[in-house]
Structure 1
């Protein structure tokens, strides 16, 4: 007659006769498995050690809650599990030297930085590093506790040397075999210096930047640069985030990763590297990179010599 089960009708009749009620009683909410105090402890544990998993946090705090509840508490606290940014470990000595360099050049303008030719050797190879997740707040990806430290070694496929100046990308040279001081001296004398004098620095007034590797600091290299009256920037160790050509390399690797090169020969890879270099050379990438240099110095100072987002 009512279209409802007999049990439901009997329950409604009983509720009306005993309590004068036709509606259901308010349903009680399931009690929280964790208290607000537990939530604060969970967030604090993740801030102390951002690389702990939700399960490790639960076990460390002795909670009976599920790992999903722990994750929800972390989300409420503004923390999300993200892949940790990979940066090399920087020793305390190198942090000091990076900091000193940034202090000495903190007042350099973009125009002053445009008097520097930046160079670097790069390797383009198929190499993958395992990702690691970390609990962090938005905008803190490059803070030291959230970094995933990695070694810089990898499989070699094609080694190159490249340069960048205020005029844009400069020469790109393939390095075959062992790159020794004699080959580097010849490269500077026959490629880099003529490029500078015939192009962006016809007056011969420029700073030359290169790393502190044994090849870069060899006696024959120093002698050549002195003989050619080339001013060398006293570059700090582990200064990759201050070297704008590293950003060029990153863009190159992104572009190359979109190509089907996983089974190619080194010659085909080199041709692809040259092509992507020329594409970037036609862009305005150099201008924006030189403009970033004052900000890079400020970032190193703010990080007290640690690695930065650049």
Structure 2
């Protein structure tokens, strides 16, 4: 029932002081007998017209326990509220543990996934970014950027992490991604400042020799000569073992392909990664997911072709490359938000 206004309470008390019965008062003010009795009793016993002060329940946790809860996820931000409660043996509900963490400015979010980088990786990444810090979008526009990706019908499990706002890409909050041993549908793709280039499905194991003939000779070079007829371009690929084999290096030299030396673990600097991410997100949103390799391959190609029609997408990624270099320099070689 709605709260009784104080002036109405005073009217009820006045009726009582004049000798009216509580039942009569209830009829006059249109209130239940129980309400009238409560108001009159409060006035006669305590001289009070307002509501009694609410007695707050004691906190389920002490201040020391609150501090331990927060400290537990600061030490290991990937713990769940249940794990924290069990670790500390706190007599509190999971909702209480979560409230204590949120009140400390922490929120439970899906962890960003980035490749784990070693100290050596950080050094080479930083050196590369510093060497290309002065490159503008036009400089990057001479580079054909390539990458391989694996698509699967099963989505990898994402971990959750407790973190403060704006710290998604802090190293302590990032989920490391190991190389996948699964072979579903593997593709190779390339882009240039002119937009999306060719997409090639890799059938079977990609050996160094097959990389030279099936991809470099049959796919890359015809595309490169079509968009750079003056042959004024550079080619980029990562340091995957297939790419760094002696036979590949000799093949590239024989074909006189200018190369952009790329650092290990440079995924956040490779704009193809953004394209793969976009395609995978688009496929997840589909109401019906591919169930066979051929269906999956066709779906990936369709998304690639649909994205080709967005003429601003790839140029915007090229325009982001100077900022990516600056971000790596600022992060001292650590992984960045890209």
Q: TM-score, normalised by structure 1?
A: 0.87
Please tell me whether residue 190 in structure 1 is matched to residue 218 in structure 2: yes
Tell me how large the CA RMSD over aligned residues is. Answer: 2.6
Find the residue that maps to 2:244 and give its secondary structure.
Answer: coil
Distance 1:269 1:52, change over 3 A: closer
Find the residue that maps to 2:186 and give its secondary structure.
Answer: strand
Q: 1:248 aligns with which of 275, 288, 297?
A: 275
Please tell me whether residue 105 in structure 1 is matched to residue 168 in structure 2: no
8 Å contact from structure 1 (residues 85, 146) kept in 2: yes
The answer to which of 119-128 and 25-34 deviates more is 25-34
2:197 paired residue number: 170
Please tell me whether residue 153 in structure 1 is matched to residue 162 in structure 2: no
1:290 paired residue number: 318
| Alpha-carbon separation, structure 2, partners of 1:153 and 1:17 | 77
Q: 1:280 aligns with which of 273, 298, 307?
A: 307
Find the residue that maps to 1:232 and give its secondary structure.
Answer: coil
1:94 paired residue number: 121
Q: Runs of 5+ in structure 1 lacking a partner?
A: none
| Alpha-carbon separation, structure 2, partners of 1:103 and 1:125 | 36
Q: Runs of 5+ in structure 2 lacking a partner?
A: 1-22, 27-31
Find the residue that maps to 1:138 and give its secondary structure.
Answer: coil
Distance 1:232 1:71, change over 3 A: same
How many residues are paired up?
307
8 Å contact from structure 1 (residues 127, 154) kept in 2: no
Q: TM-score, normalised by structure 2?
A: 0.81
Find the residue that maps to 1:298 and give its secondary structure.
Answer: helix
Residue 256 (structure 1) shift: 2.7
Distance 1:40 1:229, change over 3 A: same
Report which of the two structures shows the higher radius of gyration computed on alpha carbons: 2
2:157 paired residue number: 130
How do 1:216-227 residues align onto structure 2 when only pairs under 5 Å count?
Answer: 216-227=243-254
